[in-house]
């Protein structure tokens, strides 16, 4: 991080530059925060949506109007549950 530091001995501010290797985590966090702010306040903010799977709490960016789940895994789980329920209902009806 670049910073101004007061040098009491010379009675002036000096620029302090830290080693970039020690700043990797700070940079990563700052980048994630920047990307989140950009997404939440940008043009695609209205495309953010919650996954429709009942036990999923993820938020996704709807890239297609028909997208309902955050991942293939969530979609497969819901479709498998519906299929199981249909087969069970048919078996009970027979």
Its domain, for residue 1, covers: 1-42
**Are 4 and 27 found together in one domain?**
yes
Claim to verify: residue 3 and residue 34 sit in the same structural domain? yes
The predicted pLDDT at position 22 comes to: 63
Answer yes or no: do 62 and 85 share one domain.
yes
- Asked if 37 and 56 sit in the same domain, the reply is no
**Does 81 lie in the same domain as 57?**
yes
pLDDT value of position 24:
78
Count of domains forming the chain: 2
Q: Give 12-66 pLDDT, tens digit per residue.
A: 887 766 666 667 777 888 899 999 999 999 999 999 999 999 999 999 999 898 9
pLDDT at 50: 95
Query: Does position 81 have pLDDT exceeding 90, yes or no?
Result: yes
Q: What's the CA gap between 50 and 67, in Å, rounded? A: 11
pLDDT at 92 over 80: yes
3 shares a domain with 18: yes
Answer yes or no: do 8 and 26 share one domain: yes
Name the token pair of 81: 């549950």
Measured distance CA(35)–CA(20) in Å, rounded: 21
């Amino acid at each position: 991080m670049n910073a101004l530091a007061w040098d009491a001995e010379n009675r002036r501010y000096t620029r302090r530059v830290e080693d970039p290797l020690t700043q990797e985590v700070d940079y990563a966090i700052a980048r994630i925060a920047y990307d989140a702010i950009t997404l939440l306040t940008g043009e695609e903010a209205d495309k953010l949506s919650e996954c429709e799977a009942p036990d999923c709490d993820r938020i996704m960016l709807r890239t297609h109007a028909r997208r309902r789940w955050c991942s293939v895994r969530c979609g497969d789980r819901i479709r498998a549950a519906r299929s199981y329920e249909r087969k069970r209902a048919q078996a009970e009806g027979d």
